[in-house]
Amino acid sequence: MKSLFSLGLMFISFLFLTSCGQQSSSQKEQKAESQTETISAVVEQADEQPQQTEEPEVLKVQKVIISTSLGSMTAILYNETPIHRDNFIKLAKEGYYDGTLFHRVIKNFMVQGGDPDSRNAKPDQHLGVGGPDYTLQAEFRPEFIHKKGALAAARKGDQTNPEKRSSGSQFYIVQGEKVNQAELSNFAARGGITYSPDQIKIYESIGGTPFLDQQYTVFGEVIDGFEVIDKIANVQTGANNRPVKDLKMTVKLIDE
Check which CATH number belongs to the domain holding 22 and give it. 2.40.100.10
Handedness of CA 119, 29, 222, 213 (dihedral sign): positive
Which pLDDT belongs to residue 53?
Answer: 58
- Give, as one character, the DSSP assignment of residue 62: P
| 187 contacts: CB under 8 Å, gap ≥ 6 | 7, 11, 179, 193, 210, 211, 213
The Cα 145–Cα 214 span in angstroms is 8
Q: Which domain holds residue 56?
A: 4-254
135 burial (CB, 10 Å; 0-12 / 13-18 / 19+) is buried
pLDDT of residue 97: 99
Backbone φ/ψ region at 70: left (φ over 0), alpha (ψ -120 to 50), beta: alpha
Pairing label, strands 166-174, 135-136: antiparallel
Q: What is the maximum alpha-carbon separation in the chain?
A: 81
Give the Cα separation of 140 and 121 in Å (integer): 33
What are the distances in angstroms from CA 226 to CA 15, 66, 170? 25, 12, 20
pLDDT of residue 58: 74
In which residue ranges of the chain is pLDDT below 50?
1-9, 12, 15-16, 19-50
Number of domains in the chain: 1
Inter-residue long-range contacts of 158-161, CB under 8 Å, 24+ positions, other chains counted: 161/135
- List pLDDT tens digits, range 217-226: 999 999 999 9
The DSSP code sequence of 183-215 is: HHHHHHHHHT----HHHHHHHHHT-B-GGGTTT
User: How many Å apart are CA 22 and CA 165, to the nearest integer?
Assistant: 10
Residues near 91 by beta carbon (within 8 Å), at least 6 away in sequence: 97, 169, 251
User: What gap in Å lies between CA 147 and CA 130, rounded to an integer?
Assistant: 26
How far lies 14's CA from each of 9, 38, 110, 170, 202, in Å? Answer: 9, 48, 9, 15, 20
